[in-house]
């Protein structure tokens, strides 16, 4: 009969008898802790340590390989939830739409911007210190009361985000993709502030135009067949022209330019350990490039 002193137990489960050793750390492991290896079995800790030491696969633009466009799903959900919020409380649009400069009276009546303005009115929009409008307006859309286009506005934007976003996110990875989306949205709002500060705007179109620019730059960088890409960009530019009479072409153009600039940095920085930090610096530089003229415009409007 085997003595009690010679009984070996699992190092993770001391009460479970075990006679199998991990081929990596040589500790005894029970069946619950065994993981198949190329030779023999390994324990859970060694498998985790091995996974950390394996270099993660990256795309040509430095993004991690992902199986699901999680950020695109979240962005669509946020836009839809914001739209539902508009239906329940329409005043959300007046408070959070992109507005560079406006006036509001004691009774809540909105007026066009003028400076100086009567003492009974107070400034609203970015000039009133509501800087969050530079981003919140990109998650709002025209309400159903605007007729057929009110419904089509969010439907067209979300279908576009679904089609383009999945492709761009799969190449850039989640962090770079989110930075691209937000900077494109900000770029659209800043151009609205610079050119048409008294015009209220809503919609994710600026960010989506930025994704379109990214799609074009990435295709060029990868040497893809440009015939399909060129047709896509032609349609995007046609919509830019049409939008001049329907929505904010300034927002579309600003998003297109900002998205193109970000993706150029993503695409043409040489591979290496410094690529990630350089991408981060490029995003911060563009952020500064957008914020500075916005601050200057607000200072100009407020005198």
Positions marked active-site: 205, 252
| Nearest one of 75, 182, 205 to 132, comparing CA atoms | 182
Instruction: State the first-to-last Cα distance of the chain, in angstroms, to the nearest integer.
Output: 96
The DSSP-derived string for 42-93 is: E-HHHHHHHHHHSPPPB-TTSPBP-SS-HHHHHHHHHHHHHHHHHHH-THHH
Tell me the CA distances in angstroms from 69 to 115, 192, 268, 298, one per residue in order. 46, 30, 23, 37
| Nearest one of 106, 91, 89, 95 to 128, comparing CA atoms | 95
| Residue for token pair 């610096």 | 281
Instruction: Give the relative orientation of helices 148-172 and 70-88 as an angle to the nearest 10 degrees.
Output: 160
In whole angstroms, what separates CA 261 from the centre of its chain?
A: 15
d(CA 134, CA 225): 36
| Nearest one of 8, 34, 31, 38 to 22, comparing CA atoms | 34
d(CA 263, CA 280): 12
| Residues contacting residue 37 through CB under 8 Å, at least 6 positions apart | 23, 24, 47
Task: Give, as one character, the DSSP assignment of residue 131.
Answer: T
């Amino acid at each position: 009969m085997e003595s009690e002193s010679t009984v070996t137990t699992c190092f993770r489960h001391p009460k479970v008898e075990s006679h199998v050793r991990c081929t990596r750390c040589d500790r005894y492991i029970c069946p619950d802790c065994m993981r198949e290896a190329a030779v023999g079995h390994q324990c859970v800790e060694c498998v985790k340590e091995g996974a950390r030491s394996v270099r993660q696969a990256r795309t040509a633009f430095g993004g991690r390989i992902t199986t699901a466009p999680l950020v695109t799903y979240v962005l669509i959900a946020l836009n839809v939830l914001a739209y539902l919020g508009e239906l329940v409380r329409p005043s959300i649009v007046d408070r959070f739409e992109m507005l560079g400069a406006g006036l509001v009276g004691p009774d809540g009546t909105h007026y066009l911007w003028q400076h100086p303005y009567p003492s009974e009115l107070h400034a609203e929009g970015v000039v009133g210190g509501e800087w969050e409008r530079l981003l919140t307006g990109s998650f709002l859309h025209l309400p159903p009361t605007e007729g057929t286009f009110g419904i089509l506005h969010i439907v067209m934007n979300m279908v576009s985000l679904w089609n383009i976003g999945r492709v761009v996110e799969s190449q850039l990875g989640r962090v770079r993709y989110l930075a691209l989306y937000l900077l494109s949205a900000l770029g659209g709002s800043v151009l609205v502030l610079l050119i048409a500060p008294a015009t209220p705007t809503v919609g994710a179109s600026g960010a989506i135009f930025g994704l379109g620019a990214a799609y074009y730059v990435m295709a060029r960088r990868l040497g893809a067949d440009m015939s399909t890409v060129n047709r896509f960009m032609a349609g995007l530019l046609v919509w830019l022209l049409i939008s001049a009479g329907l929505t904010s072409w300034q927002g579309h153009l600003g998003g297109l330019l900002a998205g193109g600039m970000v993706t150029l940095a993503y695409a043409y920085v040489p591979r290496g350990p410094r690529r990630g930090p350089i991408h981060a610096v490029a995003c911060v530089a563009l952020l500064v490039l957008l914020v500075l003229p916005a601050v200057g415009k607000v200072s100009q409007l407020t005198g």
